[in-house]
Amino acid sequence: MKILEQLSQEINKCVLCGTCRSVCPTFGVINREPASARGKVALCSAFLNKEIGLSDGFIKQMNECVQCMACMTACPNDVNVPDIILAARAKIAKEKGLPFAKSFILDNILNSERLMPAVMKFASKLQGLLFKGVPEESGLHRRFHLPLIGEKRLVPPLAERFFLEGRKLTEAKGGNGEAEKRRKNLSPIRPFADSPIRIGFFAGCLINYMLPHIGEACLKVLEKAGASVIVPLNQHCCGMPALGMGDVKTAKSLAIKNLEAFEQYELDYITTACATCGDGLKRRFKELLSDEGEDVRKRVESFADKVRDITELLVNELRIQNSEFNRKSKIVNSKSEIVTYHDPCHLRRGQDIADGPREIIEISGAKLKEMRHPCRCCGLGGTFNITNYDFSMAINRSKAEDIKSTGADIVATACPGCMIQIKDGLHHLGINTKVVHVVELLADNIIKQ
Amino acid sequence: MLSKNLIQELTRIIGKENIRTDEEDLICYSYDATNQKFLPDAVVFPKNADEISLILKLANKEGFPVVPRGAGSGFSGGSLPVEGGVVVSLERMNKILTIDTDNLIAEVEPGVVTGEFQWAVEDLGLFYPPDPSSLKFCTIGGNVAECAGGPRAVKYGVTKDYVLGLEIVLPTGEIINTGAQTLKGVVGYDLTRLMVGSEGTLGIVTKIILKLLPLPEATKTMFAIFTDMRDAAETVSKIISSKIIPSTLEFMDRDSIKCVEDYSYIGLPYNVDALLLIEVDGDKELVENQAEAIKKICLDNGAKEIRIAVDKKEAKKLWQLRRAISPALAKLKPNKINEDIVVPRSKIQDAIIGVREIAKKHNLINANFGHAGDGNIHVNIMIDKSDKAEFLRAEKAIREIFELVLGFGGTISGEHGIGISKMPYIGMELSRSAIDVMKKIKQVLDPNEILNPGKIFPRI
Ligand SMILES: Cc1cc2nc3c(=O)[nH]c(=O)nc-3n(C[C@H](O)[C@H](O)[C@H](O)COP(=O)(O)OP(=O)(O)OC[C@H]3O[C@@H](n4cnc5c(N)ncnc54)[C@H](O)[C@@H]3O)c2cc1C
Ligand code: SF4
Ligand code: SF4
């Protein structure tokens, strides 16, 4: 990981033209220069020139970025503003320390194999006390004051059974349980090692703790597409939230742990249904571990080479076909649902994937209706949403309105983070459009067949 | 430095939320697209003309400079607080007030982003043509102050051709309205025209009444590839003399293309020396015919290939590429001396050849692109500021280029304005007495020299 001082050349590439003002979502809400990508680069430049120190104002501006990468894509000089900001955050964390609550969570809970699930489990049992359900939506409102969670936040309930827990149970029952049984009917049983396509599934925290059904949907679709899937149970958080807060140390340690978890198996691909995790696995792990020696470098490269987003894997590698998944094409006169698609920042710009998810929508038999600005950030920005809730929802507002004006029945996306954020935003405006992961559209068709 | 008392006074006028004096905020309002920096003492974010009026009155009383600022995308340093003082950011005054579809006029606040205004009127079937390449982020107020133009100027003119009236706060604090809500109006002197292009030195614009046109039914975008720049220049003259006026006729030379090719890859097969990006608009049928006619002229005059964008998406890509050129030139060398000369259309070829020769003579890297249709060429000399000798050579070259341009009957700035960047050269184009008239106007309106001081006219 490069530190801020090493990025001075990157910072000097900025000619202060202002092009990024047109795309930066934090600027879009605040409408003052310091909130723009250009302003932030100028501040980092001033910091490196010792015109300012790590002042409160500097810290505030560095925190107000959703890491959407829109600036970088628009910039005629390819200035990597999000990385500059991350390096600034790392600098702040290192010199000033993280706020106590944050550092405790990051250090002791997120980074621990046992504690994180245990804490989350505890929380899932307690959530009935802390939150009240919102009847028409699958969400919760908080009842009491909680640190880190804003007043109006609609939180998805923590799952009763976490995704990885569920996996552990099926494995304990021998083999891959349900999925294994189903596959028996399609092809002769073979041990995982002999399978022609071996895939390791990376869940990520949001799927694990909050939206396990997306994980299940992925497994179902992957197996239907002829692949064998393994879910290493000792996998961890991808570390991107920690990195986003400037905690490079935790992010590194998580990267190593995940590397080890997946190296246990002979895998053709590693896949995830979370755009942010995917971006992290593909790109950030390499950066994080770049100064850990030749051996680690080789390992992380071979790991990163295998990573595919789930949509990329299904469309480009497994080449799924319309006929396998489109139930409706078999029913005469059926009306297809209208689906609009939101491009997650870390998929579209982070991984340059735009077509795959759209093809999946078509394959599922639904009709795609584009919104006006599908690539505009939903405002989540990792932990930005927790620390700057109202700000984050202000960014989301135009997304919610955009979705509404398509008149679509469903809004699909390819990242659990975006799903939670979009659901919350729609809820605030009283819009009932259903929010799904594109893979769910395929999985739904399998059950119904 | 402003005294504590003064800051308090300002705070009383504008509210605590709308004044900033922290170092971090001042830094963010110290630069514009010239990549130069001058720290202000405070930044204020007014909501209306009344607040601005109070600020200007205070400035006259206390004698501090006031500098209006839109998006800070200017190329001549107009919004830089070169003598410190208070930056008046118009970012908060960003409402489109009315779009009158019956009378084809609109009223906007100055902080409205040009592109956003264009999309808003296009949704209603209307058209606001001025299209500086910075349209996605520059403000209409800034456009009025600089009289910004763009590729469409060849057919549709520039900002001044669309401004019907203004609300302005004069440097001494009086609020006046100029012009009318109608297309005609000759009551008194034309103060609107005086204000447009005055670079924020004669008043702060707080409302703008704009003329709109009906949105053309169809447009067609194409680009022609040339292996010899002279053929491209010849083609421009031929298109114009064939009495077809395209809505845009843009020129890019070899080095400009090189900088953006990887930004938005279009795949150029030849050893390209120049590109023309051409657009025609109007009725569907007319557009088809004109596109065909232009295609023929290009091919007859040595174009190696001509490609017509199949749909809006492809056209958008081509424009993105064109708009990226200016900032992307930094790939050649870190600093840019950026001139926007204009010559009579028939002299484009001679001008570009002349510029290239001058650059070569002084051993400088030079890239040229721009609005060939109206003779406006962006001449860029790319340098590394830390190389003093190179900088001196560049200054010499600029002078020679201006001499060349004026010799052709042209002008040294078509759209970017004088600001501080071209201040040393203003005397090359304007006579002593013309400058005197302008200075007198400035003196009458701004007797205490508080509004955007240190711009346009060199202090001798
Ligand atoms: C990539 C790029 C491409 C560009 N392409 C073009 C182009 O094709 N054509 C073109 O003409 N220009 C172009 N420009 C230059 C620039 O965008 C224009 O000059 C634009 O009009 C400036 O608008 P702004 O809002 O950024 O104004 P600023 O840069 O903030 O200010 C410009 C001047 O206007 C004054 N001003 C701003 N608002 C007001 C107000 N409300 N009242 C009074 N004075 C005010 C300021 O004091 C200053 O003197 C380009 C710039 C960039 C960075
Ligand atoms: S980051 Fe890029 S787009 Fe933004 S001001 Fe700098 S050069 Fe221009
Ligand atoms: S990453 Fe997104 S939020 Fe952050 S500076 Fe860039 S455009 Fe703005």
| ipTM (interface pTM) | 0.92
Cα separations in angstroms, B208 against A262, A348, B97, B101, B450: 62, 39, 10, 16, 23
The string of pLDDT tens digits covering residues A33-67 is 999 999 999 999 999 999 999 999 999 999 999 99
Tell me the CA end-to-end span of chain A in Å, nearest whole number.
48
Residue B243 has a CB neighbour count (10 Å cut-off) of 7
- Fold for domain A324-448? Rossmann fold (3.40.50)
Q: Could you tell me which CATH number the domain at B96-214 has?
A: 3.30.465.10
Cα–Cα distance between A130 and A113 in angstroms, integer?
25
User: For ligand 2, what atom is nearest to the CA of residue A15?
Assistant: 7
Cα–Cα distance between B449 and B440 in angstroms, integer?
12
| pTM score | 0.89
Q: How many CA atoms lie within 13 A of B238 on its CB side?
A: 18
pLDDT band with cut points at 50, 70 and 90 for residue A328: low
**B327–A13 CB contact, under 8 Å:** no
CB B146 within 8 A of CB B135: no
Strand runs (DSSP E) across B151-235, as ranges? 163-169, 175-179, 204-211, 213-214, 218-226
Contacts of B373 (CB under 8 A, 6+ apart): B151, B153, B154, B155, B236, B240, B245, B246, B248, B249, B250, B345
The string of pLDDT tens digits covering residues B262-288 is 655 566 656 788 999 999 999 999 999
Residue B457 has a CB neighbour count (10 Å cut-off) of 17
pLDDT of residue A158: 78
Q: What token pair was written down for B413?
A: 């700035």
The verdict on A52 touching B (C-beta cutoff 8 Å) is yes
Residue A129 has a CB neighbour count (10 Å cut-off) of 9
CB A380 within 8 A of CB A65: no
Q: How many CA atoms lie within 13 A of B247 on its CB side?
A: 21
CB A65 within 8 A of CB A83: no
Nearest to B33 among A17, A57, A75 (CB): A17
User: For ligand 2, what atom is nearest to the CA of residue A36?
Assistant: 4
Which residue ranges make up each domain of chain A? 4-96, 324-448
- Element (H or E) spanning A351, and its range? none
Q: Hey, whose CA ends up nearest to atom 6 of ligand 2? A: A14
Q: Residue written as tokens 């405006």? A: A429
The verdict on B306 touching A (C-beta cutoff 8 Å) is no
Q: Hey, whose CA ends up nearest to atom 4 of ligand 3? A: A65
User: For ligand 1, what atom is nearest to the CA of residue B143?
Assistant: 21
Rounded to a whole number of angstroms, the distance from the CA of B180 to the nearest CA of chain A is 31
Nearest to A34 among B24, B73, B330 (CB): B24
Q: Which amino acid is at A330?
A: K
Q: Which 67-96 residues of chain A touch chain B by CB within 8 A?
A: 75-78
The string of pLDDT tens digits covering residues A386-402 is 778 888 889 999 999 99
Rounded to a whole number of angstroms, the distance from the CA of A348 to the nearest CA of chain B is 16
Digit-by-digit pLDDT tens for chain B (460 residues) are 789 999 999 999 999 999 999 999 999 999 999 999 999 999 999 999 999 999 999 999 999 999 999 999 999 999 999 999 999 999 999 999 999 999 999 999 999 999 999 999 999 999 999 999 999 999 999 999 999 999 999 999 999 999 999 999 999 999 999 988 777 777 788 999 999 999 999 999 999 999 999 999 999 999 999 999 889 988 998 998 898 999 999 999 888 888 877 655 566 656 788 999 999 999 999 999 999 999 999 999 999 989 888 888 888 888 888 888 888 888 888 888 889 999 998 888 899 999 999 999 999 999 999 898 899 999 999 999 889 999 999 999 999 999 999 999 999 999 999 999 999 999 999 999 999 999 999 999 999 999 999 999 987 6
pLDDT of residue B460: 60
Mean pLDDT of A403-413: 95
CB A157 within 8 A of CB A192: no
Any atom of ligand 1 within 6 Å of the Cβ of B69: yes
Cα–Cα distance between A229 and B314 in angstroms, integer?
41
Q: Which 9-28 residues of chain A touch chain B by CB within 8 A?
A: 12-13, 15-19, 21-22
Cα–Cα distance between A143 and A166 in angstroms, integer?
29
Cα–Cα distance between A315 and A320 in angstroms, integer?
6
The verdict on B438 touching A (C-beta cutoff 8 Å) is no
- Ligand 3 cavity residues, CB under 6 Å: A 23-26, 37, 40, 65-71, 81-82
The string of pLDDT tens digits covering residues A147-179 is 444 455 566 677 778 888 877 766 555 445 445
- Class for the domain spanning B332-407: alpha beta
Q: Is A7 exposed, middle or buried (0-12, 13-18, 19+ CB in 10 A)?
A: buried
Which residue ranges make up each domain of chain B? 96-214, 218-326, 332-407
Q: Is B381 helix (H, G, I), strand (E, B) or coil?
A: strand
Q: Which homologous superfamily does the CATH classification assign to the domain defined by A4-96? A: Alpha-helical ferredoxin (1.10.1060.10)
**A19–B327 CB contact, under 8 Å:** yes
Q: What token pair was written down for B63?
A: 């004698």
- Fold for domain B218-326? Alpha-Beta Plaits (3.30.70)
CB B176 within 8 A of CB B170: yes
Q: Hey, whose CA ends up nearest to atom 5 of ligand 3? A: A37
CB B245 within 8 A of CB B155: yes
pLDDT of residue A184: 40
Cα–Cα distance between B153 and B141 in angstroms, integer?
18
